[in-house]
Structure 1
Amino acid sequence: MAFKKESAQSHIRAFLGEGTEFEGLLSFDGTVRIDGKFKGEINTDDCLIIGETGYIEAEIKAGHLIVMGTFNGNVTAAKKVEIVSTGKLMGNIISPALIVLEGGVIEGNIHMKGVADQLAKKEKVVNLQEVKPAQAAQAAGGKNASSPNIRAN
């Protein structure tokens, strides 16, 4: 399992339990778990856990987001987003890492921030030119080529 309950619960600094409702701006350090309802904006460099009974409508900027309940909105995560089997995320995700367990739901766009940049640096642009069979035969010493060859310039 991608998320260990006992380790996260032992480090939770704040908890909004089931039946609570909060609206506004929430900024915090450490790990916060929301099992109630929240509407607004959430900012943290640390971890936000949306519990199984949690319902969030927000714009979230977090280091790490774990979704076990329902989240409507957009998230930008510096480290990763995890959606467990009971989690539903309706909105856009920007994160370098994404973990979705079987049963987890995403409805929205995903941008793997940082990943595309790393891949672009690793890839070399290669110009490919198709060689016609007649040219290939000449290059091969007059042998017949049944399929076109491709070579890099």
Structure 2
Amino acid sequence: MAKTEIIPQANELCRISKGTKITGLMTSSADIRIDGTFDGTVYTKGKLVIGEAANIKGKIFAQSCDVWGHVEGDIFMEDIINFKANSNFTGSLKTPKLSIEVGVVYNGSCHIITKEEYNKHLHEIPELNKEAAPKPAAAPAAAVHAAAAK
């Protein structure tokens, strides 16, 4: 059976509002905007916007990202990340393209990577790899009936 991929609709957005606190793993094929607090791993095939009131601790994997708030952790970009004035970042960044406005507080390392290197880092998200792992084939019905008859 062929696997069906869900294609996000135009302007589809997952939003974590100011005052909301989430811990864990968040995955989405749509764009994400975070204005609240998130502790864990964020993965999106789309764009991630980190609002001015946002406070994120953990790992971020995204196609692109605009940072207006506070991020502490490891960031992996497939395309580009834009740090906006007054944003704050502490950690490790791996991205093909980088933009930093005047007024950004940046404490960390930056490595320019290729898309292939980004894809290798996706293996750091075990939950994504579980979904992609092939499921074992079911035993043929005749073999099951023969075993049950014994």
Letter in 2 for 1:24: G
Letter in 2 for 1:43: Y
* Cα distance, 1:21 vs structure 2: 0.4
**Structure 2: tracts of 5 or more residues without a match:** 1-9, 115-150
* 1:9-46 alpha-carbon deviations (Å, 9 max, x no partner): x9351111110000000000121111000000111121
Letter in 2 for 1:84: K
Letter in 1 for 2:51: G
2-side partners of 1:105 and 1:80: how far apart? 18
* Alignment partner, residue 113 of structure 1: 113
- What is the SS of the residue equivalent to 2:102? coil
Count of matched residue pairs: 106
2-side partners of 1:11 and 1:92: how far apart? 30
* Alignment partner, residue 13 of structure 2: 13
Q: What is the root-mean-square deviation of aligned Cα atoms in Å?
A: 1.6
User: Conserved in 2, the CA contact under 8 Å of 1:46 and 1:63?
Assistant: yes
* Alignment partner, residue 48 of structure 1: 48
- Give the structure-1-normalised TM-score: 0.66
**Structure 1: tracts of 5 or more residues without a match:** 1-9, 115-153
- What is the SS of the residue equivalent to 1:43? strand
* 1:52-82 alpha-carbon deviations (Å, 9 max, x no partner): 0000001111111211000000011000111
* 1:81-117 alpha-carbon deviations (Å, 9 max, x no partner): 1100021111111001000011112110000113xxx
- Give the structure-2-normalised TM-score: 0.67
1-side partners of 2:41 and 2:49: how far apart? 15
Identity between Structure 1 and Structure 2 (%): 27
Letter in 2 for 1:112: I
Counting only pairs closer than 5 Å after superposition, residues 97-108 of structure 1 correspond to structure 2 as: 97-108=97-108
* Alignment partner, residue 39 of structure 1: 39
